[in-house]
Amino acid sequence: MRRCKKYGWGTGLLYFLGAQNDIHPTYIQNLLSNTHYGTDEIVGALDYLSELDGTTAYNGDVLDTALTFSIAKTRDIVGILKGRSVLVLANGSSVKKYADAIK
């Protein structure tokens, strides 16, 4: 168990999503170990990988393609929202506290 904690292996939401979509855990490990990728890119890459066949074995080229697709998709969303007012809500106590103001 110590080795799992030391290297960041084990259970977690992204590992769970990977397992549910037959994505090899090395994809998850590589995504999490690179600090250049945010949650949007990681989740986008997993979404892309979940649509592919053959992700039960790791392939670095496939991961690169998934990240390229994910980053491009994220930038498209930014372009769609440019110049618009956007309210981002997260699950937390302040949402309930300010629910009337948000509405």
The boundaries of the domain holding residue 75 are: 2-102
Distance of CA 63 to the CA centre of its chain: 13
Q: Which of the two residues, 6 and 84, has the higher pLDDT score?
A: 84
Q: What are phi and psi of 62, to 5 degrees?
A: -65, -40
Q: Is the pLDDT of residue 85 over 90?
A: no
Distance, CA of 84 to CA of 69 (rounded, Å): 24
- In this prediction, residue 9 carries a pLDDT of 57
pLDDT exceeds cutoff 90 at 99: no
Q: What confidence score (pLDDT) does residue 1 get? A: 45
Q: Considering the entire predicted model, what is its pTM? A: 0.59
pLDDT of residue 8: 57
Q: For residue range 23-77, what is the model confidence (pLDDT) as tens digits?
A: 999 999 999 888 888 888 888 899 999 999 989 999 989 998 888 877 666 666 6
Do the Cβ atoms of 48 and 70 come closer than 8 Å?
A: yes
Q: What is the pLDDT of residue 84?
A: 82
Residue 5 pLDDT > 70, yes or no? no
The confidence score (pLDDT) of residue 10 equals 58
Q: Number of folded domains in the chain? A: 1
In three-state form (DSSP H/G/I as H, E/B as E, the rest C), the secondary structure along 7-72 is HCCCCCHHHHHHHHCCCCHHHHHHHHHCCCCCHHHHHHHHHHHHCCCCCCCCCHHHHHHHHHHHHH
